[in-house]
Structure 1
Amino acid sequence: MAQRRGGLGRGLDALIQGPASSNGIQEIDIDSIGPNPRQPRQRIDEQGLAELADSIRVHGVIQPVVVARSSGEVPYQLVAGERRWRAARLAGLRTIPAIVRDASPRDTLELALIENIQRADLTPIEEAQAYHELIEEFELTQAEIAQRVGKSRAAVANTLRLLQAPAPVQEALSAGQITEGHARALLGLSQAADQLAALAIVIQQGLTVRQTEELVRRWQRAPSRRPPRRPPPGEVQRLEEDLQRALGTRVELRPGRHGGRLVIHYFSEEELDALYRRLVGDQSDV
């Protein structure tokens, strides 16, 4: 996975026009700071947070957090540094070094998203959701986002495309079971059910991105004899999806007037062997 380039893009200094406090870094009561409502990171590494708290108890907070004045319940709102702020609270600190910026509420929310995209160790899905929020709520274009976070427009577009993946694919990506490259390859399959069946194969066999791309190409070449523009009834489609998840491969149900056919696809000898063992079981003792 590509590393973050936190020092690139326009960043806080260019985006917040208001000056910092005349005192620069100042110690602020830790309870007078509220969390960032637009924190893109959805998962907190509790062990990592505890380790950071231990370090802060010994060395203090080395890098100040960035806050903006707030008219809410607390005087300040975090713009960047939520992990440090949480760890400092866990360490029992009463104050924390902070840089205070003056910005409108709208600018503060936008900047909080951008700064966390630049600095935080986000999953690709969290990053894509943050980009989507910048587009929907702040009406930024992909090119404007790219300029702010220091990436190419194509990189932003590719990350946003991950939101088109079915929820199980997104969850596998967030959990580290697959990479961003795997997810993009799976998006080459037009049907969500096919993507989920291919996902099962990728995880079960530990396929690389290149192997996943080849799997998708073979999947796309597999013939389908369904009548064009006549999708199967809802119940048949549901059964197909259930079978594909259970078998980890592409499955087609072809209902007829009297019965029908069940077609199970496989794309390598290894997949055929795995299907045989799954359906028939181990016959070595027979």
Structure 2
Amino acid sequence: MATKERRSLNVFTFREGHQNDYQIVPFSQLVPFTHQPRKFFNPIKLAELAATIKKHGILEPLLVRLMNDGQHYEILSGERRYRAGLLAGVNEARVLVLEVDDEEAIEISLLDNLQREDLNPVEEVEGILNLLSFKLKISREQVKSTLYRLQKERKGQTAHNVVGNAQIEVITSIFKSLGLLNLDSFINHRLSLLNLPEDILRTLGEGKIEYTKAKVIARLKDSEQRTELLEDVIAQELSLSQIKERISLLESRESNPLTPTAQTTLSETYQKLKKAQLWKTDPKKWRKAQTLLKKLEELLNEEIEE
């Protein structure tokens, strides 16, 4: 399958022939963009960037637009550099001032982050929904409803067209220009992420787990079990198959809590032993555990000999 091409920011920055028309603007006049798709800025990476800026300054100019007060500039591209600059004690930055409307401003901000390929899935979804909302002139909830109706229409689940041709044209052109996900993949796999439980959505938004793992963990309805599993997934870096196994064990225990199976007991004991890391935390207990393991091994060997 051919790789999709993402629309370039050059469409905006070079279209008026002012690629060298930069200005120096004090940080006090810079304001983060209201519709910035990125909500989480990794503090460790931000500190690393701040250290680089301290040495070399902000090398790449920020893309901004003049606000209605005529005094401040809204950051359309480069908020991460701006935040790192604040940490580094920088007082000013080189900027390129663009004359763009709200729709284009959102598209620029989204393109900037997508081209850097470090938005998490939740930020991607929200950014695309914001752009569609502005383009279609409807609310985000209406955008979601329109996309789900369009999905049914494309699958032939409706007797007649429920989404207008004009809306379909806008939606398909946006996905084509962004070159990120195709429309069906976005509707089928990403849009539902916003319906995840709040704790999982927050963890996913912080980039601590993959969206495939998040959707599986959400199967647990018990909030305490979900929280415990979520913590284990992050701390132990559990794989998707391990997560599914843990959930199966929890579900089997819920269905028959008084008679745990041998497999359940064995799996839970193994997980507890692995999590406790006695060889590090309590050498005395670890020696006892090794003795018991040795006896178990001997028992198994006896059965084999018989």
State the TM bucket, normalised to the shorter chain.
0.5 to 0.7
Match of 2:177 in 1: 148
Please say if residues 28 and 96 of structure 1, whose CA atoms lie closer than 8 Å, have aligned partners that are also in contact.
Answer: yes
Give the Cα separation in 2 of the matches to 1:100 and 1:68.
5
Task: Show the counterpart of 2:195.
Answer: 164
User: Aligned pair in 2 of structure 1 residues 271, 201: CA closer, same or farther (>3 Å)?
Assistant: farther
Counterpart for residue 301 of structure 2: none
Tell me what 1:184 maps to: 215
Q: CA RMSD in A?
A: 4.1
Cα separation, 2, equivalents of 1:13 and 1:25: 15
In 2, distance between residues paired with 1:211 and 1:47? Answer: 28
Corresponding position of 1:54: 51
State which drifts further: 89-98 or 195-204.
Answer: 195-204
Which has a greater percent of strand? Answer: 1
What one-letter code is carried by the residue in structure 1 that aligns with 2:125?
A: A
Task: Give the ranges of 4+ consecutive aligned residues of structure 1 lying more than 6 Å apart after TM superposition.
Answer: 261-267, 274-277
Aligned-partner SS, 1:11? coil
Superposition deviation, residue 61 in structure 1? 1.4
Over 3 Å counting, the alpha-carbon distance change for 1:209 and 1:150 in structure 2 is: same
The question of 1:204 aligning with 2:232 is answered yes
Report the identity percentage.
24
Q: Aligned partners of 1:215, 1:201: CA distance in 2, in Å?
A: 8
Q: TM-score, normalised by structure 1?
A: 0.63
User: Is 1:43 the equivalent of 2:40?
Assistant: yes
Whole-Å Cα distance in 1 between the matches of residues 50 and 225 of structure 2? 42
Q: What are the superposed Cα offsets for residues 23-82 of structure 1, whole Å, 9 maximum, x if unpaired?
A: 433333333322111122223333433332332232121111111222136342111001
1: distance between equivalents of 2:268 and 2:51?
A: 52
**What per-residue deviation string (whole Å, max 9, x for no partner) do you get for residues 80-125 of structure 1?**
0011122233433333122221112342234323433433633322
Q: Is the contact between residue 52 and residue 87 of structure 1 (CA under 8 Å) also seen in structure 2?
A: yes
The 5-angstrom pairing of residues 79-98 of structure 1 reads 79-98=76-95
**2:92 is aligned with what amino acid?**
T
SS of the residue 1:78 aligns to: strand
Indicate the residue corresponding to 2:64 in structure 1. Answer: 67
Quote the residue 1:27 is aligned against. 24
Give the 3 Å change call, closer, same or farther, for CA 249–142 of structure 1 in structure 2: farther
* Distance (Å, rounded) in 1 between the aligned partners of 2:232 and 2:10: 47
Q: Give the drift of 1:271.
A: 4.3
Counterpart Cα distance in 1 of 2:130 and 2:117: 16
Quote the offset at 1:177 in angstroms: 4.9
Where does the alignment leave 5 or more consecutive residues of structure 1 unmatched? 220-247, 254-260, 278-283
Aligned pairs (5 A) from 1:215-226: none
Structure 2: gaps (5+ residues):
137-142, 144-169, 274-287, 289-306
Count of aligned pairs? 236
Provide closer, same or farther for how the CA distance between residues 63 and 270 of structure 1 changes in structure 2, counting only shifts above 3 A. farther
